[in-house]
Amino acid sequence: MSITDSLDLKLALSINPGPTRFTDNQRDFNFVLNLMFMNPNNLGFNKHILNPDIYLPSDHVPLIIEVGIKEENIDYTFQAIKKDSKEEEAFIRDIIKGIRNIDTSELKNQADIQRCVIALSTTFKDAWSIHSMTKRITKHSKEWWNE
């Protein structure tokens, strides 16, 4: 309850209350609670439904809510390297080369270790900046992001 309070969440009640678990074991009771906590300012608050017709193969009934997605521009960029690409191969090659070039022959004190750590960090940073590509996510980035 302290987590829900800290996030300003409240217990949301379903439109069609009922059991949320159906057990195959005769000795068990259907007393397991599935709860949904939401921000009370959300348009879907107290509007979720239980759908006991689609609970198989689980013994729990899904709690279903409609989530509205606003028609606004989602614009987010990030750096990435495509798996199994030529860029990934070159990135790994540069990392291996960079690690091999770090002089670890005389690590006598904390400053020597720090020097190696900085060299290792620089190796990864440089390889990443050379081989990663900027990707952009928009509301049309995935074909399933439609009405």
Predicted local distance difference test score (pLDDT) of residue 86: 96
Question: How far does the chain reach from its first CA to its final CA, in angstroms?
Answer: 36
Element (H, E) at 24: none
What CA–CA distance (Å, rounded) separates 25 from 42? 38
What CA–CA distance (Å, rounded) separates 128 from 94? 9
- pLDDT tens, residue by residue, 129-145: 999 999 887 766 665 55
Q: Please give the DSSP secondary-structure letter assigned to residue 130.
A: H
Q: What global pTM score does this model have?
A: 0.47
pLDDT at residue 72 is higher than 70: no
Domain spans of the chain? 1-68, 76-137
